[in-house]
Amino acid sequence: MNGLPLNLNHFALGHMIDDIVSDLGGPRFIWQLGVLVLVLVAAWLIARPIARRLHTAHVNDTFALRFAWSSLERAMFPLIGWLLVVGARYALIGTMPISVFRLAAVPLFGLAILYLGFYVLRRVLSANGELHGMLVVAERVLTTLMWIGMVLYVLGVLGDVVDYLDGIRFALGGKQKVSLAAMLMGVVWILVTVLVAMWFGSWLDSRITRASAIDANLKVVLSRVTKAVLLLVSLLLSLSLVGIDLTVLSVFGGALGVGLGFGLQKIASNYVSGFIILLERSLKLGDQITVSTYTGIVTQIRTRYTVVRNGDGDTLVPNELMVAQAVQNHNERGTVRVAVRVQASYAADPEAVLSLLLQCPEGISRILPEPAPAAFMALFADSGIEYELGVWIADPHNGKLGVQSDLNRAIYRRFKEAGIDIPYPQREVRVLGPLGPQQGASSTSGDAAASSSASVPT
């Protein structure tokens, strides 16, 4: 084989083992190994400062970014080594055999692609700063597939495996038939395009987040819409690259529409409501709101729900609730009113009761002096007069129940000291008319009790 021109068909099939065996033992094989070692040393000398510069530039980044950049640093040596080996291979054609260079280019190229793939995976799947469980599985699967592909390519059976898979065909959408090889390639293209779309979406999201001229809600809208559009385009593009007719998805699109209309109605409503909230900018991050029975600070506005944080923890409020019900925003005033109600007997002086109520907020640290607490005679109830005591607090995200409990304890204590009764409902039962014949043998004490009135507390 020494001195023969390169057979392109032979190279495409990858019969590298035969070439290595035929060159083994000759002096030119030693020259190939020597040149290969020099090329790899040069690649290491070039890649090392580049990797150091990347490490220094991102040493202060978050864990997720440093974790991703570490893969890119590792990809420098095999990538530069592959470029130098390919250049040396084409430069030495005609002067010496190049079987060693062709064989060395395979693992170098595979490792470069592998680490670049790890970089994209880590940028996408570890964006929250934690190691995602899917990341470990994806890296193991990608590593296994890459090494299997390189072994098959070196052994020269990769083409035969592809031809075998291409002969297995399945009917798709009636007349169209798709081979197993095309389906596997479609899965690969979908994974690649989706990962690239997600990586580009994350990069674009970081750029949008840093833009100071864009409103916070508009940033969220642009980020959500951009990621959704990129994912849709990547899926359609990958299916087109494989050769799958996109009209076969019309049935799936119709089923999806019916599902959204019936089974997914609430979910679709929440997503639409989320975009309405973000576009109208009716709520912003950091707003103190009260919706239904929830009061707290808005910490996240997602497309499906809004996170409201208070003293009890985070509450995921569906966006449909935020749109369909009244939402009280306390942000303009910055304070929230807390009210408690209590009854006092009709025998108690209303002015004395109101004066006592105004003394109850004293000593409760969370109650603001301004606006001042206010007491009101709210209602003439069945058992007594109902009064309301209203106070103001500046930290509703810590909960209102603690303030209400302190006020109720103070009211109970002061009413008891002042001798003011807190009435409870009573029902008066009167027995009228003569007793029945079955009660004729009743004692006189029973008759007296029947003819009198009895008060029964309930």
Which structural domains are found in the chain, ordered by start?
A: 8-156 (no CATH), 278-329 (2.30.30.60), 336-424 (3.30.70.100), 427-457 (no CATH)
Contacts with 310 (C-beta within 8 Å, 6 or more apart), sequence order: 294, 295, 296, 297, 396, 397, 398, 399
Which pLDDT belongs to residue 331?
66
Identify the helix (H) or strand (E) that includes residue 310: strand 305-310
Q: Which residue has the tokens 């309301």?
A: 388
Would you state the pLDDT for residue 76? 87
15 membership: H or E segment, kind and range: none
Peptide bond into 373 cis (omega under 30): no
Q: Please report the pLDDT score of residue 232 as a whole number.
A: 78
In sequence order, what are the beta bridge partners of 315? Answer: 308
CA–CA separation, 4 vs 22, rounded Å? Answer: 13
pTM over 0.75: no
Buried b (16+ CB within 10 A) or exposed e, 264-299: eeeeebbbebbeebbeeeebeeebbbbbeebbbbbe
- Separation CA 64–CA 198 (nearest Å): 15
Rounded Cα–Cα distance for residues 38 and 44 (Å): 10
Picking from 391, 425, 393, the residue whose alpha carbon sits closest to that of residue 408 is: 391
Dihedral angle over CA of 201, 206, 207, 213, nearest 10: 120
Strands (E), 262-414: 288-291, 294-301, 305-310, 313-318, 327-329, 336-344, 374-380, 385-393
Burial class (CB in 10 A: 0-12, 13-18, 19+), 202: middle
How far is 397 from 314, CA to CA, in rounded Å? 10
Specify the DSSP class assigned to residue 408: H
Question: Could you report the per-residue pLDDT of 183-230, keeping only the tens digit for each?
Answer: 777 777 777 777 777 777 777 777 777 777 666 666 777 777 777 787
Let me know: does 101 contact 109? Beta carbons within 8 Å. Answer: no
Per-10-residue mean pLDDT of the chain, 458 residues long, equals 39 53 66 82 88 78 70 85 85 73 82 81 61 65 78 73 73 64 74 75 74 68 76 75 62 63 71 78 79 80 82 81 81 76 91 92 88 91 90 80 90 91 80 64 46 46
Specify the pLDDT at position 354: 93
Nearest one of 176, 171, 70 to 115, comparing CA atoms: 70
For residue 72, the Cα-to-chain-centroid distance in whole angstroms is: 26
- Rounded CA-CA distance 88/80 in Å is 12
Q: Which two tokens stand for residue 199?
A: 């990586």
Q: What is the pLDDT of residue 443?
A: 46
